[in-house]
Structures are given as C-alpha cells and as structure tokens.
Amino acid sequence: MEITLHHPEFASEVVAPTSKSAAHRILIAAAFANAPSKVRISGAGADIAATVRCLAALGATVTETREQDQSTWLEVLPINSPEQNAVLDCGESGSTLRFMVPIVAALGTGATFLRRGRLPDRPMEPLTGELARHGVTATDNADGSLTVSGRLTPGDYAVAANVSSQFITGLLFALSLLDAPSTLTLTGEIESAPYIAMTVGALAAFGAAPERAENGRLYRMAGRLSKPFRTPGALYPEGDFSGAAFPLAAGAVGKHPVTVSGLDLASSQGDMAILDLLARFGAKVQKSPQTGAITVSPAPLKGIAIDARQIPDLVPILAVVAANAQGQTVISGAARLRLKESDRIATTAAALRALGGKVRETADGLIIEGGPLTGGTVEGANDHRIVMSGAIAALTARGDVTITQTEAVSKSYPQFFELIQSSPDQKELL
C-alpha cells in the first residue's frame, strides 16, 4: 500500500508498543517453563506472531485474549513433549529464526524452518558452524528453507560476538535447556551487548540465569536439571525504545512536543540511547521516572557524530533527525545494517535523497548534511524502519511525501500510521 502525507502532524501522546525483543525472550522461556504463564503485549507485530507460531508448532499452546485498550494477554501452556520434525514458519523474523534454530538443536527433534523475504540471505554463520562442531547439521534448501537435524550435547561453546547478538541469545537459551552444564565463550568485539543483557534478564525471570564471568565473555549454564525454567506467573514486557524512537524523533523535528509513556528508564535496552542522542542533537528531553513517560520538544538541532555499533536499529530514524539538523552528522559502526530487512545504509540514504536530502554512504554508515527536505517518494523496501522513518521525515518536508510498502510496519508497529494526523486532502492509494 502507498500513503501520501501532506504536511502531517504526529500525535501528541503515545503509548510505546511492547518491546518485541523482550517479548520474544519471555515467550520462549514461557514455552519451556514448569507451568502456564500469561504475557501482556501491546502492539504485537508480525515478528512476535512468528515466534508464537513456531512455539505452537513445537507443541506449546498459546491462547490470545484481547483487552478493551487493544492490548493482548497471551497465555502460554508449556511444551510437554516436543514435536518431531516440525515445520516452523519464521516469516521474516531474524530473531525468531536465530533463537529457535539452536533451541531445536538442544531438543534434538529436528525441524524445517521456513524463511521469507530477505531472511534466507541473512547470515547464519558462525552459529551454524558452532552447532556443527557439536553434532547438529543445518542445511539450506533450494526453496529458501533451512533444515536442522541432530542433537546438541553439553560442553564448551564459543561464538564470535561481532556478527549478531541473536546467535548468543539462541545459544544461551539452548544450553540452558540441556540436561548438564555448559559454557559459552564470546570471542571478538562484543556488539549489541544490551540485547545479551535482555536475554540474561529473561532467563533470570524464570529462575535459569547463567553465571557470567567477570570478563563478560564467559557464561556458565547449569542446565535444566539444576535450573529448570519456573514461571513467575504473569509477565509485563517493557515498552520498546526502538519503536518509541519514531514518536520521540517526531517530538524533536515536528511542530509540537510528543510524550511517550510505558517505557522503563532503568531498561537494559540499548536503544534507550535515543534519549541521549536526541539531547545531543539539541532537542529538549524530559523524563519522568515515576511514570515512565518521556517528552521530547522541538528545538534548534545541530549535527553530531554517532557510533552505531550498539544501536544499529536506530540509524534510519537518526538519519532523519540529522537531515533536520544544522551542519554535518556522521554515523559510523553500522556495517551490519546492510544485512537487515533491506540494506539499511543504502535504503536510508535513498529515502533521504528522494526527499531532497544530502547524504553520502560509507562502508559502515552515513554522512548527512542538514538542510530542508522538499518531498518526494520514499521506497519502503519492505522494511518497517525505512517506512516509519519516511513518515517522520514527512513532518518537515515542504511538499507531499509518498511512502510505498507501508504494510511493512506490521512487522513491529502495526498501529504506527494511526498516529499520523495529516491534512484532509491526504491520499491513500491501494
């Protein structure tokens, strides 16, 4: 679907969607717990649906109850006897795939994983190589699916930490499900460390936290016989800073302040860095620790330097803020973005250029010269973050902004376009 925005405004008050990173982890832990769990989700998208689908295919029962405020309770009845050779449809969710592959390997049930969109092209090494060293084979099929066979044994594991923290999360879960203790050593530079912390937090909530060595590189998992997963009952995953980054950025570049509630200011989410980054740009950022509400107000913005190694998902929206800032912004350390739902370095640059922005690509980032955006057509690239970034850019564009493939927001923020308040002559083209 295409949407054309004509001098739009963003909603003044927004409730942050549930962190899909937290929800993935909690739902997986719940599926292997000793008793049912209830998980409250707000704004669940296609990625969470993929994880639920895969857990159900393995034998969990997940029941959904909708509340009047549009949130959802998911009741998870744990897996009793895992299904053998199940077909797990991961959709386009990299998290679902990379978490579930080692989990299936730990169960020893075998499975075929369906992968859609760009997911078959996203790397699975060094994860699959480490699984192979411990008796598990992962085979790419001609139709884009991935078949996993064999069973992991307890032992000493190692994985490079500079490719994807999702590999580390998958292994932390998998090794916690084995019968005996194992270790996991992280090699190389550790990137996206906050996501590893979220995984440890989810395991801790179910009584299965690994021990972490002082150097931060060695994790010891006791195994399920010593540390079985025990449900805490009802769980409330925190609000999502990566999703909230878009309305927060709207407050920085738009016509009026935007308040986002439902966030945890003590969160381990790396994307909470959006608050400090917006303040560095010059926006006014007010925090209310008691309520979790954050208000961002517009102010003159100036270009800054950004190291994106720990916050790659923020790059598209930070680039929009940079385009509205005076002077130059340099974003580096984001090479992994070329392997996301789109090549996000290229598609972010293309989106800004289409709107009259001045931007250059580098091998691992972008150099952006602030200046007025004129309007034009943003190709959504089937990427939710590019689509939402284009919509925020429309807040300051002098002309109309047309965005293609807007349905991509269903991946993480299905209600996003309900927050855009355009003038009466907005056009929607199916």
Cis bond leading into 126, ω under 30°? yes
The rounded distance, in Å, linking the Cα atoms of 160 and 158 is 7
CA distances from 419 to 88, 185, 247, 258, 397 (A): 33, 44, 9, 11, 18
Cα gap 272→182, rounded to integer Å: 32
How far is residue 330's CA from residue 425's CA, in Å, rounded to a whole number?
Answer: 37
Measured at the alpha carbon of residue 113, what is the angle toward residues 117 and 199, in degrees to the nearest 5?
90
Point out the residues that are catalytic: 313
Q: Is 186 exposed, middle or buried (0-12, 13-18, 19+ CB in 10 A)?
A: buried
In contact, 35 and 62? CB cutoff 8 Å: no
355: tokens are 């709107």
Task: Report yes or no: 49 and 24 within 8 Å, Cβ to Cβ.
Answer: no
Q: Which residues, 6 or more positions from 77, have their beta carbon under 8 angstroms from its beta carbon?
A: 36, 60, 61, 62, 63
What's the alpha-carbon Rg for the chain, to the nearest Å? 21
Angle, CA 250 vertex, CA 390 and CA 306 arms, to 5°:
80
Nearest alpha carbon to residue 188 among 161, 165, 215: 161
Encoding tokens for residue 338? 């070329």
Indicate if the alpha-carbon torsion angle 102, 105, 107, 110 is positive or negative: positive
What SS3 state is found at 264?
Answer: coil
Count CB atoms within 10 A of the CB of residue 66: 9
